[in-house]
Structure 1
Amino acid sequence: MKKVVVGTVASAVILGGAIGAGAMTDGFKTISMVNPEPAEQSELISLDEAKEKALAEYEGVVESIELEKKRSGYVYDIDIDNGDMDYDLDMDASNGEILRVEEERDDDDDDDGDDNNVSSSGSNGTAGSTNEDYISQEEAVEIALAEVEGTLDSVELDHDDGRAVYEVEIETGNGDDDDAEFDIDAVTGEILEMDLD
């Protein structure tokens, strides 16, 4: 009789454990379905909106801004210089929320007497241009995507030899290291350099 009772109790424990494990599995499925999908590129705030939001929080000049594709979605990496401090921000590209900020005292005087900044005059016609003269980030990406098929990996507005340049990287999907990189004149839209891996 004792063996029957022990066997019945053991069966109940095993059955209860199986039911509990099933319930937990269902709970995990529900949790994973609640997580939002990363934003699509078409749902992102523009480069200008990202700059505006960053400068509303941190005073200075945007030195560079780069759109990066992360696992959780797209993030703007924004560098701001206000003379005394440098700020490196990560901003959620879908809603403009600042995710991370690094502050660093600016000890280098690399802009003093430097002819490579945007406000200097130069012979290439793009130096001295203001942000209003630039083609949009979206136009730069479209120019790159007209040359190769793929998805946007990153886009950065940078200044190279006194010229404003969009550096666009496109994932071509042919492998881990298969990316196409473009340098596009931010004023004229001309492709200055193209590197197809």
Structure 2
Amino acid sequence: MKNLSTFGKSMVMALGIAGLGTASMMTVQASTKSQGSEAMAAVQSKVSFEQALNIAQKTVKGDIVSAEFDQNDYSAGGKYEVKVIANNTEYEIDIDADSGKVLKTKQEKLDNKDIAEYKAMKQAKVNLNQAMQTAARSVGGTVFEAEFDNDDGQSVYEIKVAKGNQTHKVMIDAMTGKVISTRLDNDD
């Protein structure tokens, strides 16, 4: 840079800054596309979200506390990860999204925090299935992730809904069944 004029140095700096800005925008776009592609893969899988929940319930009799679609390295296919609680034990059941085959089941005893959250879910007036239906209706899309959460003493269901190539995060009050908030989700 020693032999460049002041104008030349300014141009090099401006192009460098422009390049960084472009790279940042491309990263955001790639993140949004991968989020959208995961939602699309979930919607297009041979086994629906509801079917995966039924398979999990047949595998372990208990209460479903969360379920999500996981696209393997953002390629074709994927699996559902469903968490079921029975007898103070959490079971994580992985289900192939193309065949419906149970890939693995692992279990873990609940700790005191998990037991407290589970008790809060059991006291909710709205169950996970009702919350998923409300979220799907509110956005006009297909649910591909759902979980109960008890943050700051408020019991809610966090539901992700695919609509087109967008993902909407819908918060449902677990006591009233009302939609608390809906927003586009670009977190993944």
Q: Which residue of 2 aligns with 1:143?
A: 139
In structure 2, relative to structure 1, the CA distance for the partners of 1:44 and 1:136 (3 Å cut) is farther
The aligned residue for residue 3 of structure 1 is none
Q: CA distance change for structure 1 residues 110 and 93 in 2, over 3 Å: closer, same or farther? A: same
Report whether the alignment pairs 1:75 with 2:79: yes
Superposition pairs of residues 1-197 of structure 1, within 5 angstroms: 41-70=43-72, 71-104=75-108, 106-110=109-113, 112=115, 117-120=120-123, 127-136=124-133, 139=136, 143=139, 155-160=144-149, 161-168=154-161, 182-186=168-172, 187-188=177-178, 191-196=181-186
Per-residue deviation at 1:54?
0.9
| CA RMSD, 1 decimal | 3.8
Q: Measure, in 1, the Cα distance between the counterparts of 2:116 and 2:45.
A: 41
Larger RCO (CA within 8 A; separation ≥ 6): 2
Whether the 8 Å CA contact 2:91–2:106 is kept in 1: the answer is: yes
Matching residue's letter, 1:118: M
Instruction: Report the TM-score, using the length of structure 2 for normalisation.
Output: 0.54
User: What letter corresponds to residue 55 of structure 1 in structure 2?
Assistant: Q
Say which SS state the counterpart of residue 118 (structure 1) adopts.
Answer: helix
CA contact (8 A) 2:145 2:160 kept: yes
Helix, strand or coil at the partner of 1:184: strand
After TM superposition, give the deviation of residue 108 of structure 1 in Å.
Answer: 0.8
Structure-2 change in CA distance of 1:89 and 1:113 (3 Å): closer
Measured against aligned partners, the alpha-carbon deviations of 1:44-81 in whole angstroms (never above 9, x if no partner) come to 33333212211111122111100122234031011112
| Distance of aligned partners of 1:138 and 1:67 in 2 relative to their CA distance in 1, 3 Å threshold | farther
TM-score (norm. length: structure 1): 0.52
The total of aligned residue pairs comes to 137
**What is the deviation of 1:112?**
4.8
Greater share of helix residues, 1 or 2? 2
The whole-number CA distance in structure 2 between the counterparts of 1:112 and 1:101 is 20
